[in-house]
Amino acid sequence: MKIVMLGAPGAGKGTQAKKIAAKFGIPHISTGDIFRANIKNETELGKKAKAYMDQGLLVPDELTVSLVTDRVVQEDCKTGYVLDGFPRNIPQAEALTEALDEMGEALGFAINVEVPDANIVRRMSGRRACVGCGATYHLEYAPTKEEGICDTCGKELILREDDKPETVEKRLRVYHEQTQPLIDYYREKGILYSVDGTKDIQDVFQNILKLLEA
């Protein structure tokens, strides 16, 4: 069960990736986690990645693919894994396909969580984060008992820079340019499955399970 999750930022693919991983007992793999683990363990790949990150540069595709393929050959990935946030573009996808081919493996599912841009902007701009403990809330879906005040520690809530409508719209533009072509790429491979991400989290998950268990 080798799965890649697709979808715009804020579509909820990370939440679904974690639920799939928990349900099937397979690792949830995000590039952020891989980078952090390699940097912490001071691996050769980690040192190379850190050199780019310290300069505020994006880690090159080739190095990112090496980090991911190094992760998916580990023992806990034998029965499968869920890739979240990778690949981000066609060159990464092609490099991943090539690397898996060389290992005699292939992805089985590319699950696209579909949510219209307008929903995403509304969803993300409704998020609020606590300045004290970092707890997150949502004005509509998960409000606090007292408006603007954290339920956990009583500190003030803010709208993070990342969640401001103009920032979200910019991230969506980048997604449509770079990442959305992956949908066609995996459709051509015959492994693309789409679900309606506007539904309740549990309903989306049930629909994903139907696809995976079909």
Residue tagged active-site, from 48, 50, 88, 122: 88
Distance CA 176, CA 169 (A): 11
Residue tagged active-site, from 13, 19, 71, 128: 13
User: Active site includes 160?
Assistant: yes
Q: In Å, how far are 3, 72, 120, 155, 159 from 81, measured between CA atoms? A: 6, 8, 26, 38, 33
User: Active site includes 210?
Assistant: no
Residue tagged active-site, from 36, 47, 160, 173: 160
80 residue type, one letter: G
Distance CA 60, CA 127 (A): 31
User: Active site includes 50?
Assistant: no
The residues, ordered by sequence, that sit 6+ positions from 69 with a Cβ below 8 Å of its Cβ are 96, 99, 100, 103
User: Active site includes 122?
Assistant: no
User: Active site includes 171?
Assistant: yes
Residue tagged active-site, from 155, 171, 187, 199: 171
Residue tagged active-site, from 2, 19, 71, 127: 127
| Residues acting as catalytic residues | 13, 88, 127, 160, 171
